[in-house]
Amino acid sequence: MGLIKNFFNGILNYPSTSPPCTMDFRVDAGVQIANTNTLVTLPKGSFIYGFRVVVTEAVVGSGSATVQFGFTGLGMLSLAVAEATLVAGYVFGSHAAGIATNSVMSAPHVLTASDTFDCIVGAQTLTAGKFDITIFYHPPQDGAMDSSYKEFVTA
């Protein structure tokens, strides 16, 4: 199992390579300015089912900060959630309330190019807040399928 330390002081955990996979990590967003911060990059061909965010430490900011997570290139983003809502135990993600069920935000997608999963802090600087994040995905296929796969011939 590989571990990667990211600039948010989080540990990135790749628990298995058997699809479907989860990528689990923690984000420490204390003292984060209003900005888009790249957390991880998934390669072209990955199938993204969605993601879940659990607040593990209440968010504190300058009063009007918002936090949003997601794949910015794909457009699969959570709602921008106000800091007052982001208390310990609050859960949100790609299937957030208020999102139309047929929108890009709630539908699984194949990445046609590598894309980043980002933390977007809006309006004000954060001074505290931690999030546990799980991305549900299927990694891209490595090369052509071998002879163990069933082949269909079409006319």
What pLDDT, on the 0 to 100 scale, is given for residue 95?
61
d(CA 64, CA 60): 10
Per-10-residue mean pLDDT of the chain, 155 residues long, equals: 36 54 89 87 91 93 87 83 92 66 63 92 89 91 72 81
The answer to whether 103 and 61 have CB atoms below 8 angstroms apart is: no
User: For residue 151, what pLDDT is reported?
Assistant: 77
Taking phi first (over 0 means left), then psi (-120 to 50 degrees means alpha), and beta for anything else, what does residue 123 get? left
What domains does the chain contain, in order, with CATH numbers? Answer: 2-138 (2.60.120)
pTM for the complete prediction?
0.76
Please report the pLDDT score of residue 17 as a whole number.
Answer: 55
- Contact present, 122 and 66 (Cβ < 8 Å): yes
- What pLDDT is recorded for position 131? 94
| pLDDT at residue 8, as a whole number | 38
Peptide bond into 19 cis (omega under 30): no
pLDDT number for residue 30: 83
Query: In the prediction, which pLDDT does 77 show?
Result: 82
- Between β-strands 21-28 and 109-110, what pairing exists: parallel, antiparallel or unpaired? unpaired
